[in-house]
Amino acid sequence: MNRRITFAAASVLATSLGAAFCAPAAVAAPPAIDAAPAAESAMQRRLAAEEASLRPQRIAFQGYFRQAYARYPTIPAGTLEAIAYVQSRWMQLQPGKADSQDERHLHMPFAHGVMGLYAGEGFADQVGEAAHLLGVERDQVMRDARLNILGAAALLDREIRRDLGAPDLVRAGGTSVGRADPGPERIRPALMRYAGFSPSPAEAVRASAAGDYARTSFAYDVLLAQDRGVNDRGIVVPERAIAWEQAFEPDQLVMLRAPMLRLDAARDRIDLGPYRVDPLSETLQRAGGGDAKAGTGMLAPAATDVGIQSTDYGPALWVPSPYYRSRSSYSSVTIHTAQGSYAGTINWFKSNPYSVSAHYVIRSSDGQVTQMVRNANGAHHVGVHNGTTLGIEHEGYVNNSSWYTTAMYNSSAALVRSFCSKYSAISCANAYNGPSHSGVVVLSTSIDVKGHQHYSSQTHTDPGINWDWRRYYTLLNPGSGGTTKYLDRFESSVGHFTTSPTYSGSTRGISTASSATRTCSTRKNGSCSLRVLLKDNASSSANWSVRLLSGAGNPSSNTALTRANGKIGFWVYAGGSGMKVGVGIDDSDGTERSTTRTLSANTWTYVSWSLTDAAQWNAWVGGNGAITAGTVKLDAIWIERAQTSYDVNVYIDDVQIRN
């Protein structure tokens, strides 16, 4: 089944974003390794408690979303859930409360409620406008989740109607039988205006290229959440395939690294004119290489350089901030949590009254990186230490662990590893490797990679209690975690497996009702596992071949694996007979597929493949049938079975590499 979205080129149609300062504790060194199990257990208990506390309100949010769609039928289904995911990760933000936003981090405007509405302070006054449209008080929109959702819906409905007019309801015999749905692609301009980054329509007209980039990124984030779908820890964004080429210009898609094509690249030949599909990331790129320059759509004039690839760090986009200073040395890396969204942070750093900035901003959903200050300059992010440190802002809020995704950790660690290889005074081996903190704890200057809260003369408490420093240290120092390295244990989230079994166009035979969700009722080890529910596609007689993507199939979202003597494996439980599993590995020359392992029904089986044994690998997309790179990435777990009309559950646990 090749259900991914279309891109038209020539004659071919291809399928396919605190607490006050306290007296510092004694200067801390990385704790002894013996303390690791206890610290990890404490982290897991915190995550479980957070999930339990948020689940009731997240269930209530779903009812409020239904009410909003009934009242505002112009809004495509799933859009409100996606906006709430992008802005708050489905958490009722209440500025000023210790359990919501710890302080005015970098003076970012506060966001309010589950929809993350702004109330002025440098951004638009969405709260005031929503209150006016609903005929209620401002405080009600800020504090009442139902009115917050209805207010956001009213604002978005207003923008959609400016473009598309009133909805045409579907009627039969004079009776309404449905709601209008213009499709998410058609409301992209409305989403950009809705974003709320400009304090007035007049400023929106005069907006800079960086502002346009931020609004474009916001719209992209909302559509991406729908394209992938979310079903994790009570957050549910219905999966809805996005026709990316209908929403954005081709050069915008190149700049955004959009998941343009989800296809069986081994079988399908696609003529995309001046563009090509990268066989590993399956994103659209210019056929001749180079960056997306503005000249179409709403991107910047070429002279601004907005959106081009960074010259300091290849995977990053470049969106310059005017706020920087001279640098005296490269001594450390500072880890921040932005207390805001990816797009909002980018917009704030390009134009704010406080001259604040950071070198890089990282998106939670897929780990996309935007650079805003050159490495050679000092950004304005950690006070008296600005001239000696490199700063990385991570999208999210300190009190909600949902923001700290596997993709974000992987992307951030890859960026810091590049610093460690480039600047001799920064050593990844000297990164902090202890428990997370909720307050200010000043660490020794000998620790090269640490949080904002770990420096002297600071009041900020980010990245906070939910940042997993031990996990991060292991990513910064591959091989430091012992002979077994776990990629996903599913104790607190779905980890790398954030998309449904049918998200890849290489999947055949199963229906879009199939799902991949975390479950704590069946597991091999620990408390939870990944449940893959496979449902037959009644309109197809094809045998089942499921490419369950890791990191949405994008190598940059996956963890680097050392090839030498490595064996990739996992525990698997098949709730039916005739099942086979394999893996795909992104190598330096393409993607290789493993041989398959036959599973016994209704029992846990450990399966593995040696990365150094060519007999266990076959060429797939651009590969040569052998794994040759020193480090590689897991592309997918493959699940195969002869066609059947019965539902089959497959459980996966403890995805790992053993050296």
Map residue 273 onto helix, strand or coil.
coil
Residue 653 host element (H or E): strand 648-658
Nearest to 251 by CA among 222, 304, 223, 287: 287
Say what the pLDDT of residue 41 is.
73
pLDDT at 575 over 90: yes
Strand segments, DSSP code E, in 22-147 are: 111-112, 117-118
User: Cβ neighbours of residue 591 under 8 Å, at least 6 residues apart?
Assistant: 279, 280, 584, 585, 620, 621, 622, 623, 635
Say what the pLDDT of residue 21 is.
23
Task: State both tokens at 447.
Answer: 């620790």
Say what the pLDDT of residue 113 is.
97
Planar angle of CA 407, 96, 234, nearest 5 degrees = 40
Largest CA distance in the chain: 77
Query: pLDDT band at residue 182, thresholds of 50, 70 and 90?
Result: confident
Map residue 286 onto helix, strand or coil.
strand
- Taking the C-alpha atoms of residue 82 and residue 647, their distance in angstroms, rounded to an integer, is 29
Going from N- to C-terminal start, the domains of the chain cover: 52-258, 307-476, 484-658
**Helix ranges, 72-200 (H):** 79-88, 126-134, 138-143, 145-164, 188-194
- Taking the C-alpha atoms of residue 71 and residue 79, their distance in angstroms, rounded to an integer, is 14
Say what the pLDDT of residue 108 is.
85
- Taking the C-alpha atoms of residue 453 and residue 445, their distance in angstroms, rounded to an integer, is 13
Q: How far is CA 484 from the centre of its chain?
A: 26
Answer whether 175's CB lies under 8 Å from 186's CB.
no
- Topology of domain 307-476, CATH: Lysozyme-like (3.40.80)
- Taking the C-alpha atoms of residue 510 and residue 644, their distance in angstroms, rounded to an integer, is 9
Say what the pLDDT of residue 210 is.
73
Query: pLDDT band at residue 562, thresholds of 50, 70 and 90?
Result: confident
Say what the pLDDT of residue 233 is.
87
CATH of domain 484-658: 2.60.120.260
| Amino acid in the structure at residue 472 | Y
Q: What is the pLDDT of residues 377-396, one digit of tens each?
A: 999 999 999 999 999 999 99
Position with higher pLDDT, 181 vs 395: 395
| Alpha-carbon torsion angle 106, 469, 476, 567, nearest 10 | -140
Between 290-299, 349-358, 586-595, the lowest mean confidence (pLDDT) is in 290-299
pLDDT at 16 over 60: no
Would you list the DSSP string of 316-379? SEE---S-EE------EEEEEE-SB-HHHHHHHHHS-TT----SEEE-TTT--EEE-S-TTSEE
SS (H, E, C) 611-647: CCCHHHEEEEEECCCCCCCCEEEEEEEEEEECCCCCC
SS (H, E, C) 469-490: HHHHHHHHCCCCCCCEEEEECC
Q: Is it true that domain 52-258 has CATH number 1.10.530? A: yes
Per-residue pLDDT, averaged over 408-434, amounts to 95
pLDDT at 82 over 90: yes
Half-sphere exposure of 200 (CA within 13 A, CB side): 3
Per-residue pLDDT, averaged over 630-637, amounts to 94
Per-residue pLDDT, averaged over 298-323, amounts to 70
Map residue 463 onto helix, strand or coil.
coil
Answer whether 556's CB lies under 8 Å from 411's CB.
yes
% of residues, the chain, pLDDT over 70: 81
Q: What is the pLDDT of residues 484-512, one digit of tens each?
A: 889 999 988 899 999 999 998 899 999 99
Helix axis angle, 36-71 relative to 469-476, nearest 10°? 100
Per-residue pLDDT, averaged over 280-300, amounts to 52
User: Cβ neighbours of residue 70 under 8 Å, at least 6 residues apart?
Assistant: 179
Q: What is the pLDDT of residues 104-154, one digit of tens each?
A: 566 789 999 999 999 998 899 999 999 999 999 999 999 999 999 999 999
Rg (CA), the chain: 24
**Helix ranges, 90-249 (H):** 126-134, 138-143, 145-164, 188-194, 201-205, 209-228, 244-247
- Taking the C-alpha atoms of residue 299 and residue 296, their distance in angstroms, rounded to an integer, is 6
pLDDT at 32 over 50: no
- Taking the C-alpha atoms of residue 137 and residue 646, their distance in angstroms, rounded to an integer, is 53
% of residues, the chain, pLDDT over 90: 64
